[in-house]
Amino acid sequence: MPSIFAYQFFQNALAASLLTAIVCGIVGAYIVVRRIVFVSGGITHASFGGIGLGIYLGINPILSAAGTAILAAFSIGKLSRTEG
């Protein structure tokens, strides 16, 4: 029986999983330490609107969600720095 690691697609999936685990661990710790958990939740919910907008406009929902999430992140960052 051949080893499962002999398949190229499995090697790629394993490498991507390991990199994702490392990055998510670092980003998650940063979010918890900075106490900005609700900000990340807000960006996530804004990206749901981007998915709906992408489907409605007939464009790629992933690209519209990414664009909406980036726009929401910059908007929240700008609003959080504004005094008053």
Q: Encode pLDDT of 25-47 as tens digits.
A: 999 999 899 888 888 889 999 99
Identify the band that residue 9 occupies on the pLDDT scale cut at 50, 70 and 90. very high
Neighbours of 54 (CB within 10 A): 19
Region of 58 (left: φ > 0; alpha: ψ -120 to 50; beta: rest) is: left
Expressed in angstroms, the distance from the first to the final Cα of the chain is: 67
Give the predicted TM-score (pTM) of the model: 0.66
Query: Alpha-carbon torsion 45, 50, 56, 62, what sign?
Result: negative
Q: pLDDT above 90 covers what percent of the chain?
A: 68
Residue closest to 47 by CA, chosen among 70, 24, 78: 70
Identify the band that residue 1 occupies on the pLDDT scale cut at 50, 70 and 90. low
